[in-house]
Chains A and B, each alone.
Chain A
């Protein structure tokens, strides 16, 4: 099944012609942004510099930090009155990354999700429970709009209250779910405890964090679904960038909308097909916030073999990061962000450790903080206050839930060299 058969199965030469046309348009759109205009002219790139798709290599990379530096509207290529949506993701130093959308961007985005959903055979007869955060997180509204576009019945259940999620699946005959793979594991266990077999489920769409084939097998067995991997990031609209087809052997990335390069993260040089490296994407259809050669930080490769479904070249499932970014319950966070938040709290000072574990398939973060003798009056209420404050600060700044443990002064490790205060103890899933 195709949503847009012509575009999904374009022949390579037609595709490249379309990509080149759209790349040129994207560059002229990007020039409306002061940041890109300067970047391009500093690199000596004029409108005649880009004659072939390979010429894109002349253009400097764009990094997440460039987006942060442009806070709030520095990367917008259209006036604010043409922006109909803003999403934000949490930032390193308190200020978030802002992503804007025009009306057309929202249509294009929903259309990409519609392609993905149609590709795996779901449609207007299906009932879709969208178990990810709505609001500022792009996962919720992104899938919501796409599913609505293809006429599915959408249950915007968002996250939390697993028992109720299971009751809704049962009572409404839900056929399709979307959530993080770790939440799906948790859901399957709670369903088992409740004695619910969730027979109506057919399709599971899982994304926002990397997951393995063995998790796929477990989820398929426990939930009775066919499980599909979904990939995307807010800077490139959100979810919907790449998606598995029914073959479930790599993800189709929509080449008419995203120009893909895989690079060696250290040298910036391209690697060959079949070799792993960092995914670099130039979105070809973004209006409000064009990006040039955006470094996603995600590690994958372009796959050499074609696909039975006749769609374009696939990328392999994401296997990791080229930087130290962590994905905790589907939320992207750098250790430096966690440290920044904790260092701002006077009672915490320099003596803390952060551990990330996976307990019952869910990510749990624990912060250990040494009690500062000076700020501790001996009242138990003070301890509770510190615990609450640390939890609140992390939740407010990074949307992460934390268990805070207070420990004796001097009991946490001291570092002589570069401190490593954030320890990820999870096994790969």
Chain B
């Protein structure tokens, strides 16, 4: 087993748990003393840091939710000063206000270390050429993978997203051995390559894919591996946890969650009760080492289960299984989180648009495609093509700006979309894996 950090990665479980307890204890004391947000939360829950006497006492602590971040926009929960902060990442929000994540130098270091361990565990290292085809910028995928790949001494090709033909040329000419992107983008790359007469299996050095930012299945993995002749590994993370954080190892049996970095629990989303290993529930994470934006029992909303036995790779840290779905109704379109309520929010700000709309998500070729059918209001309905085109462009532009993803818009006559007496079904998700 080649490890980035052998001492930690194969540490006996008991020792890991002792370490986690120590880290948890000091985290709780620190936040109780210095974070008004966590202080109040703990008071409300009637829990004092002294009540945390063993690791299992973590369940006494209050949960934290995505809405807590939004309610405290932009930086009210941060526990670092401006001169300690070195980075902000921003993800688009439900009601116009985005989620902001701050990082100290140590936070970037922890994040990068987590990825360096993961990339090493799938056999990547110095001598590899890693093409990072996640978007660079405010999205954590690009810069996160970039720093991780740089840490392990690989050659980083920061291609970012888009311009697929050029991506393929560079992959070929510069001899990329690994690619990091969403699984759907890799499928698209495969299709475009085929059109260009490039057989990724034969004509490139590509042998590893680090694929994430959207849920995918074993079935998809098998197809990708067979078709492109690579080993495809899943990677897990969200911007609140820093970004892409945890990967599968070469065994492909779930994500290793580094115990010195994070404490995971699987809970029943309805009762909040902790579930046993192997039971399916909502993933809840406490990041043990995070300075700028600490996370205690953060309810990510992803459904999975946890395994605590030692992995056949020899690593002792627990693993979580592939994400099976979302607790809420969030859609993931090409790796970008989109809430139907965000779409509604954007549409309702456009005067020409009526009250009714419908979201149709489907997979066109390899990519997620979102169509929003929008009813015009009676006043704006016109049979002049130019007027309609103008409104359509406006709606597409607004949606793209607030969602950060391209959306097709179809304008329809007032009254033509289905009406509901009870709960409406605004989202039609036709994607089948």
- Interface residues of A, Cβ cutoff 8 Å to B: 71-73, 80-81, 83-88, 95-96, 98, 100, 103, 106, 124-125, 127, 134-136, 140-141, 144, 148, 151-158, 161, 163-164, 168, 171-172, 395-397, 399
Contact = CB atoms under 8 A, between A and B. Distances in A.
18 contacts: A80-B127, A80-B175, A84-B153, A84-B154, A85-B156, A124-B82, A134-B137, A134-B158, A135-B159, A136-B158, A140-B137, A148-B86, A153-B102, A155-B90, A155-B138, A156-B137, A172-B100, A395-B163
Interface in B107-132: 108, 126-127, 129
B346 to A, nearest CB: 12
Contact of B155 (A80, A152, A156): A80
B85 A153 contact: yes
B244 to A, nearest CB: 15
Contacts of A85: 150, 155-156, 158
A113 to B, nearest CB: 14
A100 B157 CA distance: 10
B137 A158 contact: yes
Nearest to B96: A167
B86 A152 contact: yes
A262 B227 CA distance: 55
Contacts of B75: 172
B292 to A, nearest CB: 10
Given A135-B158, A136-B159, 19 more contacts: A81-B126, A81-B127, A84-B156, A85-B158, A124-B83, A134-B143, A136-B160, A144-B143, A148-B87, A152-B86, A153-B102, A154-B87, A155-B88, A156-B89, A156-B138, A158-B138, A163-B401, A164-B401, A171-B73
A190 to B, nearest CB: 12
Contact of B173 (A72, A80, A106, A155): A72
Nearest to A87: B158
Contact of B82 (A86, A135, A153): A153
A161 B150 CA distance: 29
Contacts of A140: 136-137
Nearest to B402: A164
Nearest to B74: A171
Interface string B251-288: 00000000000000000000000000000000000000
A172 B88 contact: yes
Nearest to B125: A81
Contacts of A154: 86-88
Given A134-B160, A396-B165, A399-B163, A86 B137 contact: no
Contacts of A151: 83, 86, 105
B166 interface: yes
B389 to A, nearest CB: 12
B174 interface: yes
B209 interface: no
Interface SS of chain B: helix, strand, loop or mixed?
Answer: mixed
Nearest to A152: B86
B142 interface: yes
Nearest to B133: A135
A141 B158 contact: yes
Contacts of A161: 401, 404
Interface in B163-192: 163, 165-166, 170, 173-175
Interface string B230-266: 0000000000000000000000000000000000000
A80 B163 contact: no
A272 B86 CA distance: 44
When A and B form their complex, which 10 residue pairs have the shortest distance between CB atoms, in order from nearest? A135-B160, A158-B137, A134-B136, A153-B85, A124-B83, A81-B127, A155-B88, A83-B155, A135-B136, A72-B173
Q: Give the most central of B74, B127, B166: most A CB within 10 Å.
A: B166
A392 to B, nearest CB: 9
Contacts of B83: 124-125, 151
Contacts of A84: 150, 153-156
Interface string B66-103: 00000001110000001101111110000000001010
A157 B138 contact: yes
A166 to B, nearest CB: 12
Question: Which of B102, B126, B136 gathers the greatest number of chain A CB atoms within 10 Å?
Answer: B136
Contacts of B170: 88, 96
A157 B142 CA distance: 12
Nearest to A138: B158
Contacts of A96: 170
Given A71-B173, A87-B158, A396 B136 contact: no
A86 B155 contact: yes
A409 to B, nearest CB: 26
A167 to B, nearest CB: 9
Contacts of B136: 134-135, 140-141, 156, 158
Contact of A80 (B129, B143, B146): B129
Contacts of A172: 74-75, 88, 100
A148 B84 CA distance: 11
A152 B83 CA distance: 7
Nearest to A161: B401
Contacts of A148: 86-87, 108
Given A85-B156, A396-B163, A157 B87 contact: no
Contacts of B108: 148
B165 to A, nearest CB: 6
Nearest to B140: A156
B174 A153 contact: no
A176 to B, nearest CB: 13
B98 to A, nearest CB: 8
A95 B88 CA distance: 35
B243 to A, nearest CB: 12
Nearest to A141: B158
A329 to B, nearest CB: 16
B90 A168 contact: yes
A86 B174 contact: yes
Contact of B87 (A71, A87, A134, A153): A153
Nearest to A149: B86
A38 B166 CA distance: 32
Given A85-B156, A86-B157, A151-B83, A98 B174 contact: yes
Contacts of A72: 173-174
Interface string B385-427: 0000000000000000100100000000000000000000000
A151 B82 CA distance: 10
A86 B131 CA distance: 10
A418 B153 CA distance: 50
Contacts of A395: 163
Contact of A125 (B82, B102, B129, B158): B82
Contacts of A100: 155
Contacts of A168: 90
Nearest to A399: B163
Contacts of B87: 148, 153-156
Contacts of B127: 80-81
A158 B89 CA distance: 11
Contacts of B404: 161
Nearest to B150: A84
Nearest to A127: B82
Nearest to B158: A135
Contacts of A152: 86
A142 to B, nearest CB: 11
A162 B160 CA distance: 20
A400 to B, nearest CB: 12
Contacts of A98: 174
